[in-house]
Amino acid sequence: MFNVMRFWYKRGVAGFRLDAVDSLFEDPNFTDNPFAAGTDAFGRRNMDEKYNQKLPEVHGVLRGLRKVADEYHAVLIGETYTSSIDELKHYYGDHSSELQLPMDMMFATVDKLSPGEFRKQIASVNASGGWPVFLIGNHDMARSNNRYGDGIHDDAIAKLMAALYLSLRGSPILYYGEEIGMQNNDPKSKEEVRDPQGKIGWPTEKGRDGERTPMQWTAGVNGGFSKGKPWLPVPPSSATHNVETESTDPDSILNFYKRLLFLRHHEKALLDGEYIPLDESNPNVLSFLRRSPGETVLVVLNMSGTDQEVVFDLAPYGLAAAKRAMLLTSGRAASHRGVINLDPYSAYFEKLTN
């Protein structure tokens, strides 16, 4: 396995995403897992997967993979499902000897717009000692637009979530289609199901087809993905949420992502600055500073369905007399003499300089 990786590194591969690393080993005696309380989506008794998940041998292999990666200055991304920060720390390894980028899947389990819950997750992963990896969706969970959207303000909420995970200290992982607001297109009958999980568990478990439909490129047939019949169907929403249509709309989700990514790459504080939480008792607005030497960016996110007004005491951070310049906003968020007014589900970015 190590030589296979060397083969590809020598040909210019910059790194690997390691799928389901938790499952790399199982008990050599094939010992049965003990049953736990309750049942899963298939109606089967739950199990404590102590004999086929997260075995100690996993970390020995990861250390070996890291040594090979370091030979070529390559990166390892891990699909790591953990239930605590202590578990996540193990995947970084002692003295950063395993994965550089283990995914913080716990962040994606906050399935509601809750500043308090996101604060807890951000604080925990920042305390882990490693470089955070944030994501809000992947191929195994309902799309973020379904989980966070309310059916009315979906586009605004999509921009809000983009502003969150693309402005935090760490590396964001973007699942295809988030940048245009793609939503699940779940099967309507068992006959439509392709995913084995859905075939076994229908109708309680519909499977993962809904979040894996083709990328929506145009408003044309099959979202411009193919002139043939795709493996999974494209939803009617592709008529409005597609790359071609959104590229020409300055207020689209796609163009907000583009502006946000540009900002991230041109403001050093957003790229690698420290994270400083603000106004931590606010139940509606998540706010923080990203600060690097000589540069500070204020990020304010209204996670509520009502207008919000916030003001911050920045004197403790040496910014009482700082010049303020708006960098980016969604909705009609604006600042006047330090008072920031935010529309429902809006984001606001401001640069502070002394």
Catalytic residues: 19, 71
Strands 101-102 and 171-173: unpaired
Q: Name the burial class of residue 246, with classes exposed (0-12), middle (13-18) and buried (19+) by CB atoms within 10 angstroms of its CB.
A: buried
The token pair at 72 is 């070529």
Encoded amino acid at 101, one letter: L
The H-or-E segment that residue 137 falls in is none
238 within 8 A of 216, measured Cβ to Cβ = yes
CA distance 242 to 24: 37
Query: CA triplet 266, 326, 147: central angle to 5 degrees?
Result: 80
**Alpha-carbon gap, residue 135 to 151, rounded angstroms:** 22
Token pair belonging to 220: 């044309």
Ramachandran assignment for 64, one of left (phi > 0), alpha (psi -120 to 50 degrees), beta (any other): alpha
The residue ranges of DSSP E strands in 105-148, in sequence order, are 133-135
Question: For tokens 């999974």, what's the residue?
Answer: 232
Q: Which of 38, 125, 144, 29 is nearest to 80 (CA)?
A: 125
Q: How many whole angstroms from its chain centre is CA 88?
A: 16
Contacts of 56 (CB under 8 A, 6+ apart): none
Task: Please tell me the distance from the alpha carbon of residue 134 to that of residue 109, in angstroms, as a whole number.
Answer: 11
- In this structure, are strands 15-18 and 75-78 parallel, antiparallel, or unpaired? parallel
CB 80 within 8 A of CB 132: no
Contact 67, 6 (CB under 8 A): no
d(CA 266, CA 188): 45
